[in-house]
Chain A
Amino acid sequence: MGVITEYYRATSCDDAHAKAKSLGSAAAYVGGGVELVLRRNPEVATLIDLSRCGLGRIVKTAEALSLGAQVTLAAISRNGDVKAYAGGSLAYLAGHIAHNNLRNMITIGGAIGRNQPWNDIVPHLIALGAYVEIQDDQERVMPLSDFIRQREPGTLILGVRLPLVNADLHGFLWRFTRTQQDISLLHCSALIGVQESVVSAATIVYAGRPGGTVLYPKVAAELIGRPVKAETFLHAGDVAAQAVEVGDDLRASGSYRRELVRAAMVRLGEEMAGVAQ
Chain B
Amino acid sequence: MRVSITINAVQCLLEIEPGDILLDVLRREGYVEVKGDCHTGDCGACTVLLDGKPVASCLMLAAKADGHAVTTVRGIGDQRHPHALQKAFVHNGAIQCGYCIPGAITSAKALLDENPEPTREDIRLAMDGNYCRCTGYEQQIEAVLEAARELREGGFR
Q: Given that A33-B61, A37-B61, A99-B44 are contacting pairs, would A104 and B18 also be in contact in the complex, using a CB cutoff of 8 Å?
A: no
A101 and B47 CA atoms in complex are apart in Å by: 7
- A105 near B19 with CB under 8 A, answer no
Which residues of the partner chain B approach A181 to less than 8 Å between Cβ atoms?
A: 42, 128-129
Whether B94 is near chain A, meaning CB under 8 Å from some CB there, is: no
Whether B127 is near chain A, meaning CB under 8 Å from some CB there, is: yes
CB distance from A184 to the nearest CB of B (A): 16
A53 and B19 CA atoms in complex are apart in Å by: 21
Which residues of the partner chain B approach A30 to less than 8 Å between Cβ atoms?
A: 61, 64
* Chain B 24-49 per-residue mask, 1 if CB under 8 angstroms from chain A, else 0: 00000000000000001110100100
Whether A219 is near chain B, meaning CB under 8 Å from some CB there, is: no
Whether B69 is near chain A, meaning CB under 8 Å from some CB there, is: no
Whether B134 is near chain A, meaning CB under 8 Å from some CB there, is: no
A6 and B20 CA atoms in complex are apart in Å by: 11
A256 and B115 CA atoms in complex are apart in Å by: 42
- A180 near B128 with CB under 8 A, answer yes
Whether A150 is near chain B, meaning CB under 8 Å from some CB there, is: no
Q: Which of B44, B50, B128 contacts A104 (CB 8 A)?
A: B50
- B128 near A105 with CB under 8 A, answer no
- B61 near A104 with CB under 8 A, answer no
Q: Which of A4, A33, A180 contacts B59 (CB 8 A)?
A: A33
- A1 near B19 with CB under 8 A, answer yes
- B55 near A101 with CB under 8 A, answer yes
- A100 near B54 with CB under 8 A, answer yes
Whether B107 is near chain A, meaning CB under 8 Å from some CB there, is: yes
A95 and B126 CA atoms in complex are apart in Å by: 10
Q: Given that A47-B18, A99-B129 are contacting pairs, would A105 and B60 also be in contact in the complex, using a CB cutoff of 8 Å?
A: yes
Whether A49 is near chain B, meaning CB under 8 Å from some CB there, is: yes
Which residues of the partner chain A approach B125 to less than 8 Å between Cβ atoms?
A: 95, 100
A: residues with CB less than 8 A from B are 1, 3-7, 30, 33-34, 36-38, 47, 49, 51, 74, 95, 98-102, 104-105, 180-181
